[in-house]
Amino acid sequence: MKSEDRAFSTFRTIFIIILVLIAVFPYYWTINMSLTETKTYSMPPSFLPEFSFKGFLTVFHKAGFFTWIINTLLVAAFTVACSILISLNAAYSLSRYKSRFNSMLKAVILGSRMMPGAVLILPTYIMFRYLNLINSYTGLVLANILFSLPLSVWMLKGFIDGLPVELEEVAMCDGCSRLGAFYRVIVPLMVPGIAAVSLFIVNVVWSEYFFARILVILDKSKWVFSLGLTAFEGQFDIDIQGLMSAVVIYLIIPVTLFRFTQRAFIKGIASGGVKG
């Protein structure tokens, strides 16, 4: 290896290490603060944890902590169920029925996904207020469906595009209707794609804050986990160790879920990207 190549390889390795450290440091600092009772703004800062679990004890004894988790799981479950049902039928229609209207609809779906979520907050709030959906799980589930549906449809459409239409034709020759062929033949083959989309929706619901803040702010018993994190903010101070401990727990749940389902997620993403 030439000296120039060795120098470039060394520089690239150092650059990658620096990028990894920059990406990992916020997570390390969060864990460090959750295990440290030192004042937040003390100088010099403590880069090594003190291994104090007072913050986690504070979180577990916090009123409403387990309610936040249950509420989030309930909202995620209903959002996933409704989004998958709608997305499956919409994706199948866009994939199998070719028309100018469907082509325009695909462009609208993809374009709507590029729209920032903050743009939707005000019109969503006004619409939900007239429908009496403020401070209700129904409104929050509908808002999450609204936000996650475009990409869910697009991902499932890509998956269906990769399945040969002859599978449905054979099923219909055996007596199935088109709808029956779809649910009996196509849907079972889409399990990896459905799993990938479901994980995406769960991630959206778990990390969503703006809709939860706007639509479910009156009744604290209906708070989801992302809203519950604001409970560690007092009138004059913030319980940093308790907040960071709650954030660690907040991160552990989706990371653990992804750890045990990553194979299906990666397979679903790869299969959904076969055709556009």
Mean pLDDT of the residues in the chain: 81
> Is residue 39 one of the residues assigned to a domain?
yes
Tens of pLDDT, residue by residue over 140-167, are 899 888 888 888 888 888 888 888 888 8
Q: What percent of the chain has pLDDT over 70?
A: 88
**Above 50 in pLDDT, residue 276?**
no
The string of pLDDT tens digits covering residues 70-102 is 999 999 999 999 999 999 988 888 888 877 777
Same domain membership, residue 171 and residue 128: yes
Q: What is the CATH number of the domain that holds 137?
A: 1.10.3720.10
Q: Say if 151 falls within a structural domain.
A: yes
Range of the domain at 69: 63-272
Q: What confidence score (pLDDT) does residue 65 get?
A: 86
Find the mean pLDDT for residues 32-55.
75
Same structural domain, 85 and 212: yes
Q: Among 46-55, 61-70, 178-187, where is mean pLDDT lowest?
A: 46-55
3-state secondary structure string, the chain?
CCHHHHHHHHHHHHHHHHHHHHHHHHHHHHHHHHCCCCCCCCCCCCCCCCCCCHHHHHHHCCCCHHHHHHHHHHHHHHHHHHHHHHHHHHHHHHHHCCCHHHHHHHHHHHHHHCCCHHHHHHHHHHHHHHCCCCCCHHHHHHHHHHHHHHHHHHHHHHHHHCCCCHHHHHHHHCCCCHHHHHHHHHHHHCHHHHHHHHHHHHHHHHHCCHHHHHHCCCCHHHCCHHHHHHHHECCCCECHHHHHHHHHHHHHHHHHHHHHHHHHHHHHHHHHCCCC
Q: Tell whether the model's pLDDT for residue 207 goes beyond 70.
A: yes
Task: Give residue-wise pLDDT tens across range 209-243.
Answer: 888 888 876 677 888 888 888 888 777 777 888 88
Work out the pLDDT band at 274, boundaries 50, 70, 90. very low
